[in-house]
Amino acid sequence: MSEPKMDQRIGQGRENWASQVGFVLAAAGSAIGLGNIWRFPYLTGTNGGAAFVVIYLAAIIFFGYPIMITEMTIGRKTQRNAYGAFAALSPGTNWWLVGALGVLTGFVILSYYSVVGGWGVAYLFKTLVGMLPKGTDFAGAFVGHITATWEPIFWHAVFMGVTTAIIAAGVVKGIQRWSEILMPMLAMSLIILVLRSVTLPGAMAGISFYLKPDFSNVTAKTVLDALSQAFFSLSLGMGCMITYGSYVSAEEDLTKSALYVVSMDTMAALFAGLAILPAVFALGFEPGAGAGLTFITLPAVFAEMPLGGFFGVVFFFLLCIAALTSAISLLEVVVAYLVDEKGWNRQRAAILTGTACFLFGLPTTLGYGALSHITFLGMDLLDTYDWITNSICLPLGALLTAIFAAYYWGTKNVAEEANRGSTGMAVGAWWAFLIRYVVPVAIAIIMLSGIYQRIAG
């Protein structure tokens, strides 16, 4: 097997991150998304609180970080997009299909992720202008929004338009510049919400629920949900970290950068839970409200809270930033493929891909209204898109990436590249053991259980 030569590491005219900080913020932005701000709090609420958090943290350490460093290393070694990286490391084989799966998965995820991001932008606007006051039928308001025809399409277009404009500007002037602006704003919004939440009268019950583990109620579902959340939260298996890693120079400390990214993503999730669950308890709402926690329960919480209008705006602003930074990385996966492999101009690739994603996502905007009669295994269109990508494509891509790194490219080669420029924690035997045995088994369990639960249920 032939490997890329060192002088092939950086492609002709290819952009690199201007600094390690810029890379870390961009990669953390990719990881920190709706999974942290929306999914993590409601999964914690429905899985008993602190015990779920402990299992999640263990999954991040033993499962998330090994895959994260593997994907970044593949990208930096080849300086190529997800498709091109596998093709470069395995010429004459069919491993390129793994990269192609990542590109396709990123495209499909972004098409409906933009729809949900559009909901966040709509709720930011509605909260800002006072359209969700105390006494509102919050469930009815949300159902009315998602079942309408033109309103969700408009916000879907707004969200996708902003994402496309940032990607068209380039790696440094677009992705890095906006990550350096948006990520501090995200952190500040989280801190403001946490301070308000934990100081509410009655918040201590929520803090106890969130921080005091009770393992007596832990079930197999709790463990699977924690594993699944750790995996999806880090943007793994969709080519994002391979693509972002491809813009890293050979001199950068990749192992340290990956650790920073994983830590920032985990802290964002933990702070989101601390910002939401104590407030839910303090004002007498149900922490196990499920996916409706964000768009139904929380607006009701803010309506009852002193200065709730202000904190509602801060929360939905936070949600929009998190959604946007992840959407940027998803679009970049596809754009990088077209630029690297097809020789397209970045602006042309961004505009055409963004438009195609918008059009492909249109059925999901109508899936609760005009197209609500179309279902698959009992799921509406948005849930169908989400289930196919999250339960099949993402874990399959990550599973094949782990197998490729462990048994084709080889753990010795991966470690050598990952440790290049390292001044901190080196990738060694501990990582090799995890990527060979622990990670593939965990991913296979997640994928097979997700498929079984849907088909059997």
C-alpha span between 134 and 299 (Å, rounded): 9
Higher-confidence position of 291 and 264? 264
> What is the share, in percent, of the chain residues with pLDDT greater than 70?
96
From residue 112, give the alpha-carbon distance in Å to each of 83, 147, 269, 315, 330. 22, 15, 22, 21, 11
Into how many domains does the chain fold? 1
pLDDT value of residue 457 = 66
Among residues 22, 65, 16, the alpha carbon closest in space to that of 418 is found at 65
Q: Which residues of 29-53 are buried (b: 16+ CB within 10 A; e: fewer)?
A: bbbbbbbbbbbbbbbbbbbbbbbbb
Q: Which residues contact 76 (CB under 8 A, 6 or more apart)?
A: 9, 245, 246, 248, 250, 252, 254, 417
Residue 70 buriedness (CB in 10 A; 0-12 / 13-18 / 19+): buried
Cβ burial, residue 12 (10 Å; 0-12/13-18/19+): exposed
Are the C-beta atoms of residues 243 and 336 closer than 8 Å to each other? yes
Task: Say how far apart CA 357 and CA 430 lie, in whole Å.
Answer: 40
Taking the C-alpha atoms of residue 336 and residue 41, their distance in angstroms, rounded to an integer, is 33
In a domain, 93, yes or no: yes
Establish if 418 belongs to a structural domain: yes
- Per residue in 108-135, pLDDT (tens digit) is 999 999 999 999 999 999 999 999 998 8
- Give pLDDT, residue 439: 92
**Ramachandran category for residue 343: left, alpha or beta (phi over 0 → left; psi -120 to 50 → alpha):** left
Of 7-21, 30-44, 398-412, the range with the highest mean pLDDT is: 398-412
Residue 416 included in any domain = yes
State the alpha helices, DSSP H only, in 404-438.
411-418, 429-433
Q: Which residues pair with 379 in a beta bridge?
A: 376
Residue 8: pLDDT band (50, 70, 90) is very low
| pLDDT 10s digits, 333-377 | 999 999 999 999 999 999 999 999 999 999 999 999 999 999 998
Whole-number Å distance between alpha carbons of 276 and 299: 11
Q: Report H helices in 61-217.
A: 65-78, 82-89, 96-128, 138-147, 150-168, 177-198, 203-211
376 forms bridges with which residues in the sheet?
379
The DSSP letter of residue 370 is T
**From the centroid of its chain, how far is CA 309?**
27
pLDDT band with cut points at 50, 70 and 90 for residue 14: low
Say how many C-beta atoms besides its own lie within 10 A of residue 376's C-beta. 13
The per-residue DSSP string of 207-234 comes to HHHHHS--GGG--HHHHHHHHHHHHHHT
Instruction: Evaluate whether residue 1 is within a structural domain.
Output: no
Q: In the predicted model, is pLDDT for residue 278 greater than 80? A: yes
SS3 246: coil
pLDDT at 11 over 80: no
Which of 437, 162, 159, 139 has the alpha carbon at shortest distance from 295? 139
Here the CATH number for the domain that contains residue 249 is 1.10.4160.10
pLDDT at 4: 38
Q: What is the largest CA-CA distance in the chain?
A: 67
> Is 455 buried (19+), middle (13-18) or exposed (0-12) by CB count in 10 A?
exposed
* pLDDT band per the 50, 70, 90 thresholds, residue 231: confident
For the beta carbon of residue 214, count every other beta carbon within 10 angstroms: 12
CA 56/CA 225 separation, integer angstroms: 8
Smallest CA-to-CA distance from 74 within 435, 338, 415 is with 415
Residue 377 lies in a domain: yes
Q: Give burial (CB, 10 Å; 0-12/13-18/19+) of 307.
A: exposed
End-to-end CA distance of the chain: 45
Domain range spanning residue 164? 6-456
88 within a domain of the structure (yes/no):
yes
Q: Which tokens is 174 given?
A: 């677009």
Cβ atoms of residues 104 and 393 within 8 Å = yes
Judge whether 283 lies within some domain: yes
Q: Is residue 437 part of a domain?
A: yes
Mean pLDDT taken over the chain: 90
Here the tokens at position 335 are: 């754009």
Decide if 254 contacts 72 (C-beta within 8 A).
yes
Q: Summarize pLDDT for 244-275 with one digit per residue, the tens.
A: 999 998 888 999 999 999 999 999 999 999 99
Sorting pLDDT into bands at 50, 70 and 90, what band is 291? low
